[in-house]
Copies of this chain bind each other. A is one copy, B any other.
Amino acid sequence: MITRMSSLFLRTLRDDPADAEVPSHKLLVRAGYVRRVAPGGYSWLPLGLRVLRRIEQIVREEMDAMGGQEIQFPALLPREPYEATNRWTEYGESLFRLKDRRGADYLLGPTHEELFTLTVKGEYNSYRDFPVVLYQVQTKYRDEARPRAGILRGREFLMKDSYSFDLSDEGLAESYQRHRDTYIRIFDRLGLSYVIVSAMSGAMGGSASEEFLADAPTGEDTFVRSTESDYAANVEAVVTPAPPARPVEDQPAAQVHHTPDTPTIETLVNFLNAAGLDRTFTAADTLKNVLVKVRAPGSDKAELLAVAVPGDREVDAKRLEAAVYPAEVALLEEADFTANPFLVKGYIGPKALQDNGVRYLVDPRVVTGTAWVTGADKVDHHVVDLVCGRDFTPDGTIDVADVREGDPSPDGHGTLVAARGIEIGHIFQLGRKFADAFGLDALGVDGKPIRITMGSYGIGVSRLVAAIAEQSHDEHGLVWPRAVAPADVHLVIAGKDESIREGAERLAGQLDAAGLSVMLDDRTATPGVKFADAELIGVPTIVVVGRGLAKGVVEVKDRASGERVEVAVDEAVAHLTGLVRG
């Protein structure tokens, strides 16, 4: 295929778009791949659509190869199935809802578990039918609070979502592993650098779950990795190792101290260390009791919840949200303190909480036998040596303290360091949640029903265009991996001589005949403009047909390395075919 730039619907831009912050967004707009239509809504211009389609094709090939069967659902979906799983409500504001002319409720599908479950239930009913993997490549909708970074986080985006249906947990584990392997093949073919992290489930509910994160300093997802092992996890998924419990008997008794002028952990610790007690305190010896309100989905009433973390840590809002999901978290207002006078602001301790029936959950480090400095439920007073398991008994643990670089890796090897990435894939063992909601069973050999167990697996196809661009660009523009480039060769006609034009046209024709796709810059622009555009557009191999042609040579430039070689025009087709076919 030859794409003539003289008629290609493309205008490159010299300046970065005003609303762009990340490189992929700037470059995809400047190079004419996408255009903004609405907040989080982009149109794909010819070059962008080509890259998108090439990625889509790789995803499809690998999904077919692993035995997935492609189907396609509408994006406009009726409310009922999502009501049955409560996701009509759970999705909150991120669901686009609408009514049809008769007033019936619809939504724009953010993900399709309900429909796939119902469809399998409609067609299949015997153990012989399973396992089955179905997938679609389809437009999805989420009303993001902050659409950002161009197509990295849009409100309308292309996604591959697949679903596995198995008769047993072992079957699910196998389907999950096959998807994991398939995703590795896909992202490897796309030339991406990525990590696989343990993940929380988000709105999905279920058990095992991993995310594929493309390395990118501009990524929205923070994760941690071990300095010494393969361990990597979303911050929400980091499990803090609990220390061993200690005996409570030989510990000193709890003592209440008058601690005036200690509004912060730091002032409190300084006060105690100056008070002439028998040891030195650090912030890690104090226990901070943080009050929040938690509202279960569909409920009108918010309940108080107390969360205790060591004083040298903060409660991480994202980890807290993930921990209580699907309930929602809110901060306390003045009225809440008025309504609950036992809450002595700044001096809240476990006693008043538990005496007044407030659920009290503690950090995993707060094990039996650990002694803490904490509030004494009285203004200007703290209690020292309050021992867990002796002086108070938590209602359970909650792992929501912030995770820091230098924390021990949960797998016991090395310490954690922080990194950022772009979520490009998510694999997830849903289990029987959706099968339960819709009664999806298969009749077993013995004629008894077997409840199906499901997995759900997603790849952000349109987001991949941006993720690749984030990893593959330089100061001059985009640098596409061969597998997804909008053309194999970018052929620049550098010169006005008829002989140069003819030579370039002939070469383009030969490359086309050899099965290569050629972007031919046959515009009347200056060579400088053409070279700059070629760099910006990012086809991996740039061929310049110019004055050298008189000597029988063309220049072949590698976009990524910048290396240039002169190639005899007679050998150009063989040379370029070799480069492209690898």
Chain A interface residues toward B at CB < 8 A: 7-11, 32, 35, 37-39, 41-46, 49, 67, 69-78, 93-94, 96-98, 100-101, 106, 108, 115, 119, 122-124, 132, 134, 139, 141, 143, 145, 155-156
**Which are the 10 A-B pairs with shortest beta-carbon distances?**
A98-B98, A41-B74, A93-B101, A44-B72, A38-B78, A11-B123, A74-B156, A43-B73, A9-B69, A101-B143
Asked if residues B75 and A139 are in contact (CB atoms below 8 Å), the reply is yes
Contacts of A67 in B (CB 8 A): 7
Asked if residues A70 and B46 are in contact (CB atoms below 8 Å), the reply is yes
* Contact among B37, B71, B106, B141 with A44 in the assembled complex (CB-CB below 8 Å): B71
State the CA gap A44–B115 with chains docked (Å): 12
Contacts of A45 in B (CB 8 A): 71, 123
Contacts of A73 in B (CB 8 A): 37, 43
Contacts of A74 in B (CB 8 A): 37-38, 41-43, 156
Asked if residues B108 and A35 are in contact (CB atoms below 8 Å), the reply is no
* Contact among B32, B69, B94, B122 with A46 in the assembled complex (CB-CB below 8 Å): B69
* Contact among B32, B98, B115 with A37 in the assembled complex (CB-CB below 8 Å): B115
Asked if residues B46 and A141 are in contact (CB atoms below 8 Å), the reply is no
In this complex, what residue of B is CB-closest to A106?
B38
State the CA gap A43–B106 with chains docked (Å): 16
Asked if residues B97 and A35 are in contact (CB atoms below 8 Å), the reply is no
State the CA gap A189–B76 with chains docked (Å): 31
Asked if residues B108 and A76 are in contact (CB atoms below 8 Å), the reply is yes
State the CA gap A75–B42 with chains docked (Å): 10
State the CA gap A76–B101 with chains docked (Å): 18
State the CA gap A134–B45 with chains docked (Å): 10
* Contact among B7, B77, B123, B155 with A76 in the assembled complex (CB-CB below 8 Å): B155
Contacts of A94 in B (CB 8 A): 101
- Taking the closest CB of chain B, its distance from the CB of A461, in whole angstroms, is 13
Contacts of A70 in B (CB 8 A): 46, 49
Given contacts A9-B71, A97-B98, A115-B37, contact A76 B46 (CB under 8 A): no
State the CA gap A44–B70 with chains docked (Å): 9
Contacts of A44 in B (CB 8 A): 71-72
Contacts of A156 in B (CB 8 A): 74-76
Contacts of A77 in B (CB 8 A): 37-38, 41
* Contact among B9, B41, B134 with A132 in the assembled complex (CB-CB below 8 Å): B9
In this complex, what residue of B is CB-closest to A92?
B101
